[in-house]
Structure formats: C-alpha cells, structure tokens
Structure 1
Amino acid sequence: MDKTRRIWGALALAGLLAGCGEEGFKPSALLQGERAEAPATTVIEQRDVEAPEVFQVTEPAIWDGRPSLGGIWVAHPEVQEPERVIIRDTGSGRFVVGALFRRERLGPGPRLQISSEAAEALGLMGSVPATLEVTALRSEDVPVTVPAPAAGGLDAVTPIEATPLAGPDLENPSEDELREIALAGIEAPAAAVPPASDVIAAPAPDAVVPTRPFVQVAIFGDAANARRAEAALGGEGLPAAVREEAQGARTFFRVVIGPASSSQDLDRLLAEARRLGYRDAYAVRN
C-alpha cells in the first residue's frame, strides 16, 4: 500500500514539476515590486475636554448610604443647568463620568452629594466624606492625522528551484511497478468519515449579563423632548424608554435603551447610540 501511494505521488509531482520548466518557481512580479506610498489622511475625532470655566469645584462629598436612581450623578447647590462632568476622588485618583444636577435642599454636612452608583464606581463608603473634584465636560472636534504606511519594498523572495524527487523510473518501469500502478485504483480505500451522531459540538459559552445593562443616552428637563428622543431611537429598532425621576424640586427625564443580554450586546447598544449622535451615552443599572 505504501509503495502504491509513493508511485501515485511521484506521478502527480512529476507532472507538476514538468509544467514549471527548467527555471523553477518564480515569485510574482507584484510581490517583487515596491509598495505604493499612500498619502497621509486627516480625520475628525470628537473628544471630551474639561471645561473648568463652565463648572468646577473641589469639595468634600458624601453618599448617604441609601440606593439612588438615575445612574452616576453628583448634586451641588451652585449648579444652574444639568451638565456632564468628570468626578475625581483626589485621594485614590479614581474617576468616573456622570451627570451634574442642582441640589435643592441642604442639610448638615458636605454640600456635594453623590449617587450610590457614583460611590460604588469610586469605591466610597456610605456616610463617609471624601474630597472630590467635579469638572464640567465639553465635546470638541479634534483633527487627527493618520500616517501613511511606511514606504519600501517587500523582502526579497528567493526562487524555489525544481528538484526531482526520488520515484519510479517512468520511462522504463519494472513489472512490479506496473502491477502496483494498475492495482492502485482498486486498493486505495476511501477516507473514513465519522457519522454525524459521533460529532459532539462544543457548548457555547454562557452569556454574561452586565451589571449595568442599560445605556443612558440623554437627560431632558422637558418630557416632550424625552418622548421625541424615545420615538427616534425606537424608529432605529432600539428598545428605548423614558425614566421620570425627581431630584429635589426638579423633575428630569432620562432616556435609556436596553436591557443588554450580554457584554457584546451592551457594546452594540453603546455603539448604536453614539452613531445616532448621543456621544455622551454610558451604561447604567436602570
């Protein structure tokens, strides 16, 4: 059997090598040429920049230890309009991005109040003050130059010369070789294929539900604007909803999409929200 296979392999290779000619295999002229130098391009990226001229305080802050709604937020009595802010713990260096609201009622203790999710993200304990720096954020269009690929050709390719393989004498085969060639088609067995019932598919990994399965796309002070945003997102096939909540004497309306069934689904929802212009979207619990 092994001898039969060697004979058939030699016949196939001999025909292949004969078609290559005496010069052997040659690399493609395209591979030997140099890469065309592509020009550098400029793209516009939207980035968050800190805007301390809009709002910035560095003060002790406190979480009262109770669960709160609305995701990640801070409240301060000097706020005029809701803002998007970056919240930094000056002690640990941790930071998180969230919303800023006006605190209507002041009690004893720090003026800066934070939500339960903000405290969790920063690693703060309930009723234990911590000094936080809160700075407003603004989106800014920044031109970014994408460099061209490095110029230069590919590494030189060494041609592979055709080398005759050891095999039967094709011009004057022996009687045994002729007999093996004649019988090869009868003796070559078909490759064994396992039945479908024996093939066991690997189990799919369990989908991990994210701890923050919703995406908050916007916060409105007007219910009609929130409903319009909800309808526009629904028109894009996204599961949108409006959450009506109160912070002191003010009522605001959060527009969220979700819930996401997995981390991949959450990434998809975030990407869709940002594609539709909600670049400040972020994940929340509810």
Structure 2
Amino acid sequence: MNLSPLPLLMLEPQVRAALLEDLGRAGDLTTDAIVPAAAWAETALVARQPGVVAGLDAAALAFRLVDPAIEIAIERPDGSRLVPGDRIAIIAGPARGMLTAERVALNFLGHLSGVATATATLVEAVQGHKARICCTRKTLPGLRALQKYAVRAGGGVNHRFGLDDAVLIKDNHIAAAGGVAASIRAARAGVGHLVKIEVEVDSLDQLDEALREGPDAVLLDNMGPDMLAEAVRRIAGRAIAEASGRITPATAPAIAAAGVDLISAGWLTHSAQVLDIGLDWRRLRWDRSREARPTAA
C-alpha cells in the first residue's frame, strides 16, 4: 500500500489540543505523585483484537510532545493487518511522560484504527467488483484530515474534503434551485472549470434529467440493487456512478454487483468502533543511569 503520511504540521494542533484538555490546570497529578522523575520505562503497543492499524504518527506525537526524550520504534506501520497479540510499536523513555501521554495516544490510535478497520471490512465485502469504498463529510469535528487518512489506510478512497473542493448538489439544493437541471446549470455557471460537479438523485426520472446536463458524477441515493443496475445502464459511462445510503458489509456486495464505481458510507467515520489497542509494560527502571533505546527482544 502506497500510504503517504500526514505532515506533522497537520497533526500537531489536534494532538496538542487533546493533551492540553487532559492536562487541565495542574498537569498529571497521579503520575507526578507516584512515579519518580528519573524513572525510565519500555512499553509496547499491542493489538487486543483483529483489525487494521492507523494513527501511529498521532500517537507517537502525543508521547513526544509530553517528553521529547521518548522514542518509538514502529514494527507494524499504518495500514498493517493485525491479529490479537501483535506488537505494533515499542516505546522507550521517561516513564512519567509515557504515562501522561498514554490515554491521548491510545485515543487517537484506537479511533483511527477503528476507522481503518471498518473501511477494510467494506473493501473486503466488494472484492471482485470494480466499486471502491469511500468516505463522506460525516466526520467528527476537528478530525476530518485524520479520519480521511485512516480511510485510506483501510484501503478506501476519499470523497471531497470540504465544501470548497467540489460541488455536491443534494436534495435541498435541488429544492432551492427549482429542479435537478436548474441546480446543475447554476452550479456550472458559478464555479471554475476545474471544479467537479456531482448531483444526488433518488429516482430514475431525476437521473435522466441530470444526465441531460452532463454532471461529472451522480450520487444514487438509497436505491436497491435492481434500480442501481438500471441506473448504471442509463449512465453508460457518461458520469461516475456513486451509490450511497444504509451501506453495510451485508448489503455492499449486491450494490457493488450493480456496477457502480463508488460506494460511500458515512458511518466509516462518524460511527466506527474503536479498535482495542493496549500499552503493555516491558521494563521499568527507577533511574536513568543507563539510557536505552527501544528493543525488540
């Protein structure tokens, strides 16, 4: 998988905000009271259940922002398949910083791995068909770039990132414009020549009206497999065919078999179940007299 990492500049505001929220006004009272400042530890990030890992850079950044002396050796990079017991990374450094950053690091890692795992489940469900799995704008506030990255880590592709990078005409836009054709014409007149235009339709009549205006893509909303197959036949390659609406791993194969190009699902980002990943302790010293890097032993 050719998965390009997100620049740390994009990750840092979210990770820093999460740490500040956790540290509050007085810092980590528990760790500072119990763990000596000189204590050194080595821990491992370990998968508790099967899935696909994503978010390691965000997790690593959480540790390093708390204490730059913490080092991380990644053994299974983002996009890797996991089985229970798989060791994802080894972390070594000051024990205080490790404990303080633990929850924030695991929050990012577990959530983003959950998104990647959910995506991979749908990708597997449509194997053998041309349909690709994509996300939507139904992301958690502040986490869009990270969640869309996790979708890519799971083998999916991204829909538009915001309101400003493509036109997607939905039912309320159509109602406000006075019809499918009118909305497409208005959109084409109002945006630049490089901006793609997609229109949502929920009937074959609306589809025919849309196709006469030549959109770049058509969102076929809440159509059953038979109607989708007919819609694909009518589109005949003139536009990208995207299916959406109550997509599950059980329904995805039949939808993909209808011949659509894309299957989009909002739950991949807004409702993905967290992947259970733990931080297991391996070694602990109460002083730093012999500094060590993460070891695989």
TM-score by length of 2: 0.20
| Larger strand fraction of residues | 1
| Larger helix fraction of residues | 2
**Computing the radius of gyration over CA atoms, which structure comes out larger, 1 or 2?**
1
